[in-house]
Structure 1
Amino acid sequence: MWNSITNLRLLSPSIPVIVKIILFFSTWIVVWLPAAIVLAIALKWHPPQPLGNKKLPLLASLYVIVPFILWATSWIENTSFTNWGWDWQPAVLMSLLRGLGLGIISLVILFGLQLTAGWIELQKSEVSTETGEKIINFWALILNPASLLTLLLGLWISATEELIFRGCLQTILQQDYSMLIAAAIASFIFAIAHLIWAAKETLPQLPGLWLMGMVLTLARIADNDSLGLAIGIHAAWIWGISTLDTEGAINPTGRAPEWITGIGEKPLAGAAGLLLLVATAAVLLGSSVLSVPNY
């Protein structure tokens, strides 16, 4: 087996990148399947049942093996994680924090404008002792243990997905394609991969997920080839939207059609969410650190 892997490393420069991508995902799924089957039996879940709260254990089992798959890929490709935009320099942490800030601000603007327009409303959950008016306590919503756990999970998921799609896949695809074509392909795979968890809910979000992938690729470019900014933005979007969804903090009012606010209450399945992505891209394009690296 070791000889086969060594031969694969020697042959790697001559293998078409599409074949490399197929091998990457095939290996990942084959390695994951035994654990997935055991978990599915333990959780008493089988397709086509909805995953519900069983999604997180299955997702965790899928992502926990990613470092090993990526390490093997980097060895075969004779490269390093640094070339994929991942390193442990302090500048990466600062970029991640800037990304978190940008992602959170973008969500505040998105939902703030919709609240102002009357397209959505707050799901009132607490009572003010002074006026008797029911209000929502945003600080309690953001700083409660469940929300902070969601932030940690969001950072893990975003770091994993960015290293895979904007790091490994993007870089490998650029061996045969231009940066733009490589980004389009990687973003398409990123969008399609979400179908594995909830196909019916994900289908209306596919254009938004593809555009999100393109914006996050732009974040890597804007961050001088580092994944820090992309991870931060991605994590903020996961954290913010998941927290609001879990807490039921907002509801559509019906004053705007679903194709504007989001089909199935999913922001990426609506025009407002797509505009959020376009606006984020505009901010990244206008960034003073924008450069186009030769990676």
Structure 2
Amino acid sequence: MDSIAVNTFLFFVAWGVLWLPLAIPLAIFLKWRPGQPIEPAQKIPLLASLYLLAPLVIWGASQLEASSFAAYGMVWRRSLVISLLLGLGLALVGLGLLVGVQQALGWTQLKRNLTSEVAAEVNPPPALVQIALPLLGLALWIGWTEELVFRGFLVNQLHQGYGWVTTAAIASAIFALLHLVWEGRQNIPQLPGLWLMGMVLVLARWGDGGQLGLAWGLHAGWVWGIASLETAEIFVPTDKGKTWLIGRVGQPLTGAMAMLLMLATAGVIWQIAKP
């Protein structure tokens, strides 16, 4: 095992070890065990405790390597904010087009268009306007943390010994596989989609001249848009909406349309790239 693999492995081990004193009592309190399906009410506290530690672990790694957050692509300046907003806009426009196409083709429909018997619920989902702002804050935090870890620190580590394509492929594979921590085996069908998403986000960093602003915005925009639509339960699939096209419920990256969205986003990034 070479030094790059060892350093990468030790980083994630250190992160996990530091998290255990928080994770174990939280998991017991929330009645969750690794490998079991996880509910949002369980996932958010566990995720928050893990991600709160990420900047500390990366700071420690940067001190050992005589590096900095700026070297990992998180440079706090105006261009980062512009790239962040561009990424958010690109993600939301892409999701809007995806939703529009599925609606136009009859693969999904508005829930309010269902018969009252089918649509009636004791506890109706919250309105989109009620959840959008809180979810935006959560999406920005998740996007920032995951980009700093996977497209920042991890990409820098791997790029010391590999070319861009190999670096992107390995970093994206690790990014995808670590999602199994939360969802277990039921998230396996999403692994190809998560890997492709990781590849697009590495491309976004490259296209943004090494900064993480564009990747952060894309990541946060996708998380925000998908989480908002799913929480508000605005659309439901129809009989015309084949699973292989629109994805499984709660797993949009299992659908061919989401894959096409990732590829289309990569094409746009390639056109606006400024390496």
Number of equivalences = 264
Which one of the candidate residues 75, 78, 98 is aligned to 1:87?
75
Which one of the candidate residues 89, 103, 113 is aligned to 2:91?
103
Which one of the candidate residues 209, 225, 250 is aligned to 1:224?
209
Identity over aligned pairs, percent: 46
Are the equivalent residues in 1 in contact too, given 2:37–2:184 (CA < 8 A)? no
- Matching residue's letter, 2:33: H
1:156-179 deviation per Cα after TM superposition (whole angstroms, max 9, x unaligned): 000000000000000110111111
What residue number does 1:55 align with?
A: 43
What residue number does 2:28 align with?
A: 41
Runs of 4+ in 1 over 4 A off after TM superposition: none
1:29-49 deviation per Cα after TM superposition (whole angstroms, max 9, x unaligned): 111011101112222333454
For 1:157 and 1:46, locate their aligned partners in 2 and report how far apart those are by CA, in whole Å: 22
For 2:157 and 2:36, locate their aligned partners in 1 and report how far apart those are by CA, in whole Å: 36
Matches within 5 A, 1:175-214: 175-214=160-199
For 2:207 and 2:128, locate their aligned partners in 1 and report how far apart those are by CA, in whole Å: 29
Which one of the candidate residues 109, 112, 119 is aligned to 1:121?
109
Matched, 1:25 2:44: no
SS of 2:241's equivalent in the other structure is: coil
Supply the RMSD in Å over aligned alpha carbons: 1.9
For 1:47 and 1:203, locate their aligned partners in 2 and report how far apart those are by CA, in whole Å: 15
What residue number does 1:16 align with?
A: 3
Distance 1:290 1:48, change over 3 A: closer
Matched, 1:72 2:60: yes
Distance 1:47 1:96, change over 3 A: closer
1:163-218 deviation per Cα after TM superposition (whole angstroms, max 9, x unaligned): 00000000110111111101100000000011011123311110000000000111
Matches within 5 A, 1:260-275: 260-275=245-260
SS of 1:225's equivalent in the other structure is: coil
What residue number does 2:138 align with?
A: 153
For 1:235 and 1:35, locate their aligned partners in 2 and report how far apart those are by CA, in whole Å: 25
Deviates more, 1:37-46 or 1:201-210: 37-46
TM-score when scaled to structure 1? 0.85
For 1:76 and 1:69, locate their aligned partners in 2 and report how far apart those are by CA, in whole Å: 11
What residue number does 1:11 align with?
A: none
Are the equivalent residues in 2 in contact too, given 1:155–1:235 (CA < 8 A)? yes
For 2:226 and 2:35, locate their aligned partners in 1 and report how far apart those are by CA, in whole Å: 26
1:51-81 deviation per Cα after TM superposition (whole angstroms, max 9, x unaligned): 2111100000000011110001111111111
For 1:48 and 1:94, locate their aligned partners in 2 and report how far apart those are by CA, in whole Å: 39
Larger Rg: 1
Distance 1:38 1:107, change over 3 A: same
For 1:177 and 1:151, locate their aligned partners in 2 and report how far apart those are by CA, in whole Å: 35
1:112-157 deviation per Cα after TM superposition (whole angstroms, max 9, x unaligned): 111101111111189xxxxxxx9xxxxx95432x221111000000
Are the equivalent residues in 2 in contact too, given 1:142–1:148 (CA < 8 A)? no
SS of 2:109's equivalent in the other structure is: strand
Are the equivalent residues in 1 in contact too, given 2:22–2:49 (CA < 8 A)? yes
1:197-246 deviation per Cα after TM superposition (whole angstroms, max 9, x unaligned): 11233111100000000001111111111100110110010011011111
What residue number does 1:283 align with?
A: 268
What residue number does 1:143 align with?
A: 129
Greater length-normalized contact order (CA 8 Å, ≥ 6 residues apart): 2
- Matching residue's letter, 1:60: A
Deviation (angstroms), 1:98: 0.8
